[in-house]
Amino acid sequence: MVVGGAEPDAGAGGRGGPAAAVRHPAPIDGQDHASHDEAAGARTARRRAAARRALPFALAAGTFGASFGVLATSAGMGKVAPVVMSATVFGGSAQFAVASILAAGGTVAAAIVAAVLLNGRYGPMSLASAPALKGGRLRRALEAQLVVDESWALASRGDGTFERPTLLVTGLVLYGGWVGGTLVGVLAGGAIGDPEDLGLDSAFPALFLALLATQITSRAALSAALLGAALALALVPLAPPGVPVIAATAACLIGLRRNGRPA
Amino acid sequence: MSDVWVAVIVVGVVSIVIKASGPVVLGERRLPRRVEGVVDLLAPAVLAALVVTQAFASDRDVVVDERAAGLAAAGAVVAVRGHMLLAALAAAIVTASLRAM
């Protein structure tokens, strides 16, 4: 999910390894209470700092989530489904894809496949951040649910490693904003009336365009986008709604022509 | 079960699995680089396809209507790095205005 707004500053202070251990002389009872409290205090302070850094993203997530709630409701998804979706899928692009494809008369299968493909990038992101997570497989799988574009980017140290506290705190803050915003949007959206009168059907391609702009980070990405757009348009007269979008993913196969990562 | 709920449940389950796949399946190994290269391009390809199909398609016809003007307005906002919600608002306002004429 790309919430938009400021690019996270990869060099921002406050991230890095655990706070340096503070030495204290051992108390008479043999237990080192002071340094334990210091470490706990430092952890809390780091968590609070991470939460503060994530706040602007949470606000953006809240308004973006509200827009999803409004659009999904007026696209016929009802009031409960959008909130459940935000709570489980936690991905703006995929969620909007489902809402817009169903609203345009596409099949459930097409909506599902498009959403899954859009969330496909979280696979490699999950792999990259997995070594930083803690606990057994189940717990790490749970922690990995908080991986979205912003939490991943903020937690990245730039050398391929990730800082778990930042990832989890940012993810949690974003999650709360996203689901809460969706709930607000759903409640407000029911009062809107005919979406086409308000031009709301035009909001979907606009949002996808804005999301697309954030994903064009390389020439390969630009080529894939142009090729995908051309393929999809070409297929519109030939296939039911939704299918052109799926077929357009063939454009990403240009990523196979290179040996390493695209430029 | 309605179409909407089928989509929500399936996409929800698959998304959870995708995010869980890192820690659970591959541990500390990474995807082969070529596969990573392909997966990196999925979002741009699908998003671009969604832009054109949502703005220029009406069932099986390619049409240029009030949505195209809305998209142009959104494009202007995106070009000057405006917030994406502003782009959506601009598009909605332009499209609604043209339809009201």
Q: What ipTM was predicted for this assembly?
A: 0.85
Q: List the structure tokens of A17.
A: 């390894």
Report the residue of B1, B3, B6, B8 to disrupt the A interface, i.e. the one with the largest count of A CBs within 10 Å. Answer: B8
Query: What is the pTM (predicted TM-score) of this model?
Result: 0.72
Count CB atoms within 10 A of the CB of residue B62.
13
Q: How far is residue A116's CA from residue A238's CA, in Å, rounded to a whole number?
A: 23
| Residue pairs spanning A and B at CB distance below 8 A | 334
Q: Which residue of B has its CA nearest to A194?
A: B96
Which residues are within 8 A (CB) of A132 and not within 5 positions of it... i.e. 6 or more apart?
A155, A161, A162, A163, A164, A167
Supply angle C-alpha A191, A184, A154, rounded to 5. Answer: 145
How far off is chain B from A204, nearest CA to CA, in Å?
7
C-beta separation of B63 from A205 below 8 A: no
Phi and psi at residue A207, in whole multiples of 5°?
Answer: -65, -40
Q: Does B92 touch chain A (CB under 8 A)?
A: yes
C-beta separation of B35 from A214 below 8 A: no
**CB-CB: which of A145, A213, A231 is closest to B78?**
A213
Please report, in tens digits, the pLDDT of each residue of chain A (263 residues total).
Answer: 665 443 433 333 333 332 223 334 444 555 556 677 778 888 888 778 877 777 777 887 888 899 899 989 988 899 999 999 999 999 888 999 999 999 888 899 999 999 998 888 787 778 777 878 888 788 888 888 998 877 877 787 766 678 888 888 888 999 999 999 999 999 988 777 677 888 888 888 898 898 889 888 889 889 999 999 999 999 999 987 778 888 888 888 777 665 444 44
Q: Which helix (H) or strand (E) holds A63?
A: helix A33-72
**Which of chain B's residues have a Cβ under 8 Å away from the Cβ of A85?**
8, 11-12
Q: Does A234 touch chain B (CB under 8 A)?
A: no
Q: List the structure tokens of A238.
A: 């030939």
Q: Which helix (H) or strand (E) holds B61?
A: strand B61-62
Supply angle C-alpha A195, A199, A200, rounded to 5. Answer: 55
Residue with tokens 């759903």: A186
Task: Strands of A85-154 (E only): list them.
Answer: none
Residues 12-71 of B with CB under 8 A from A: 12-16, 18-24, 26-31, 33-34, 36-57, 59-62, 66-67, 70-71
Residue with tokens 């407000």: A188
C-beta separation of A3 from A92 below 8 A: yes
Q: Is A128 left (phi over 0), alpha (psi -120 to 50) or beta?
A: alpha
pLDDT digits (tens, 9 = 90+) for A220-239: 889 999 999 999 999 999 98
Q: How far is residue A30's CA from residue B85's CA, in Å, rounded to a whole number?
A: 59
Residue with tokens 């202007």: B76
C-beta separation of B55 from B94 below 8 A: no
Q: List the structure tokens of A142.
A: 């749970």
Q: Across the interface, do B47 and A208 touch by the CB < 8 Å criterion?
A: yes
Q: Across the interface, do B7 and A111 touch by the CB < 8 Å criterion?
A: yes
Q: Does A256 touch chain B (CB under 8 A)?
A: yes
Q: List the structure tokens of A68.
A: 């999803």
For chain A, the farthest-separated pair of C-alpha atoms sits apart, in whole angstroms, at: 83
Q: Does A114 touch chain B (CB under 8 A)?
A: yes
